[in-house]
Amino acid sequence: MVSPAKYGIIDSNRLHFDDKGILNMDEWMNYEQFDRQTWHSFFPADSVHLNQENLDEIKSLNDRISIEDVQDVYLPLIKLLQLHYQNFLSWQMQKSTFLRQPVRRVPYIIGIAGSVAVGKSTIARLLSILLNKLLPDKRVELMTTDGFLFPNAELKRRGIMDRKGFPESYDMEKLLKFLNDVKAGEPVVTAPTYSHQVYDVQPDKPLMIDHPDILIVEGINTLQLPTNQRLYVSDYFDWSIYVDADPELIECWYLQRFGLLLKTAFTDPSNYYYPYSQGDQDEAFAMARDVWEKVDLPNLTDFILPTKTRANLILHKTHGHVVDRLYLRHD
């Protein structure tokens, strides 16, 4: 029997109307689900060219990643990205031929979205390393959107310091201009950076993006609609990934990460977390839970999670940061 979803036909059994006649569509109707074992079978490569020490160097605080994870999840993903990238290059060539124009070097941009503490940064760094190994003749660069937060002083001036991380706390116009310049092939594009140690942007430490073949953009807001309602950040992406997990698990990872941040700040008075590391630990963790419940969880529920189905691929994590399921868009 032919699968309707395979050809983009919507199965009427997955369409539901509420009592007001409003259509509610199954959010997974455009995705095909794979368990970890099946995903690995698509590209059962054993050669990783990395060891556990390499992985420990790139993982974020409280994150976890193993050689088995690379073999089961990320090598098949890299192979799929390679195929998609080859199609992207072929299309650029065909379009230039059709328009009778010189082939223009257009960067391939990968977006990675998801909640705080879910492990986006580790995945972004791992993909960067694997792509560099797979495509040694290509320039792969990595950046985070954290640098496009308004500085703390500006957030305080606007009265939204307690909304840091919400859509209105980002300079989305600046981020969109940055991505537009990168896609347009500008020679060197500057991106602001962010320090989790000082909990603020670093205007004196810009990141220089210089003609990348592939750019990985990681951040909680990469699939969100900006306040001007005209362009998505993801309009500039050629492929996107959403890192998913149950909110209860993310809260645990968030608090565990907070504990590790306290330990690293213990001897550094310039660190944002230093005062918390010197005081009562129970009070510090109570503050962290309060921030999670009043800031990060509402942001996840209202603004981050609803963007999940804009991604080409959803990586679902379970206990221990283990990816157990993957959802791939049909298109």
Question: pLDDT by residue (tens digit) across 259-290?
Answer: 998 988 878 888 889 998 999 999 999 999 99
Asked if residue 173 belongs to a domain, the reply is yes
Domain range for 102 is 33-329
Cα first-last separation, the chain: 20
The pTM score is 0.90
Question: pLDDT by residue (tens digit) across 92-150?
Answer: 999 999 999 999 889 999 999 999 999 999 999 999 999 999 999 999 999 999 999 99
Phi, psi values for residue 311, rounded to 5°: -80, 150
Asked if residue 17 belongs to a domain, the reply is no
Asked if residue 22 belongs to a domain, the reply is no
Pairing assessment for the beta strands 214-218 and 108-114 based on DSSP bridges:
parallel
Question: pLDDT by residue (tens digit) across 27-86?
Answer: 778 899 999 999 999 999 877 788 888 888 888 877 889 999 999 999 999 999 999 999
3-state secondary structure of 258: helix
Number of compact structural domains in the chain? 1
Asked if residue 10 belongs to a domain, the reply is no
**How distant, in Å, are the alpha carbons of 1, 131, 173 from that of 228?**
45, 34, 8
Which CATH number fits the domain that encloses residue 43?
Answer: 3.40.50.300
Asked if residue 185 belongs to a domain, the reply is yes
Asked if residue 5 belongs to a domain, the reply is no
